[in-house]
Amino acid sequence: MKYCPECKTEYTNDAIFCSDCDILLVETLPVPLPMNQCDKCSGEVDLDSDFCPQCGTLYAEDQYSCTNHPTGVAAGVCVVCQKLFCAECLTEKKNRFYCSDHANIETLEGWTVIFTSSDYYEAEIVRGKLDSAGITTHSTNTTNIGVLADGFMDNALGRTIFKYPIKVFVPADQHLAALEILSENPAVNDTED
């Protein structure tokens, strides 16, 4: 039997290409790397990782020093900057650890808000800039607000009045890289001021 490495469809030995994915079939499917499950958030953690990238729980057998207090023992990792911090320096929000510099960033299930605007086109420019730089993005509140208020025009003023701004999210571990990319354009203001 042959298999498509993309969609995992099984084919006869006579087949050469996957009819759906149009890629070369293989004799065996690659074995996925084994992962551990985080005790705190149930997220996947690489076997050789010292911490959970989703929540910041520290799994290292060695003791590490806090970034702010070299004599303090690290209790977790900030999910945004991925630096080690002691319990005194960490803030826990929604079962995730944040340092004091990143505790006020709006987060949602491992994603952080990088940009907020009432202007749809401005938000799309920011998304395009981040996407082209290889940063994963996701937007919320992009639907027409006419659904909320029949006959109300979907524009920046309407979004401001209804407190329905467009939010551009990036994965928490890509937040700092996204900030750096957006700082190259002084006309764009991010949400972390």
Q: At a CB cut-off of 8 Å and minimum separation 6, what does 168 contact?
A: 113, 114, 115, 116, 123, 126, 127, 130, 137, 138, 139
Query: 78 and 19 in one domain?
Result: no
Q: At a CB cut-off of 8 Å and minimum separation 6, what does 69 contact?
A: 86, 88, 89
CA-closest candidate to residue 114, choices 182, 43, 63: 182
pLDDT attached to residue 155: 52
Query: 175 and 112 in one domain?
Result: yes
Query: 111 and 179 in one domain?
Result: yes
Query: 139 and 129 in one domain?
Result: yes
Q: Evaluate whether 56 touches 77 at the Cβ level (below 8 Å).
A: yes
Tell me 17's DSSP state.
Answer: B
In DSSP terms, which residues pair with 107 in a beta bridge?
112
pLDDT attached to residue 89: 94
Query: Is residue 192, in this structure, part of any structural domain at all?
Result: no
Query: Is residue 119, in this structure, part of any structural domain at all?
Result: yes
Query: 143 and 111 in one domain?
Result: yes
User: In order along the chain (193 residues), what is the average pLDDT of each group of 10 residues?
Assistant: 86 87 84 72 83 87 87 91 93 90 86 86 89 89 52 50 75 91 66 45
User: What is the CATH classification number for the domain harbouring 165?
Assistant: 3.30.70
Local structure of 142: helix, strand or coil: coil
- The structure tokens listed for 22 are 């149009």
Q: What is the pLDDT of residues 123-165, one digit of tens each?
A: 889 999 999 999 999 887 655 544 444 445 455 555 455 556 7
Query: Is residue 190, in this structure, part of any structural domain at all?
Result: no
Query: Is residue 157, in this structure, part of any structural domain at all?
Result: yes
Query: Is residue 188, in this structure, part of any structural domain at all?
Result: no
Query: 82 and 22 in one domain?
Result: no
CA-closest candidate to residue 170, choices 190, 145, 150, 147: 190
| C-beta neighbour count of 46 within 10 angstroms | 12
| Range of the structural domain that residue 146 is part of | 107-183
pTM of the model: 0.62
Backbone angles phi, psi at 192, to 5 degrees: -100, 90
pLDDT attached to residue 66: 93
Total count of domains within the chain: 3
Query: 146 and 91 in one domain?
Result: no
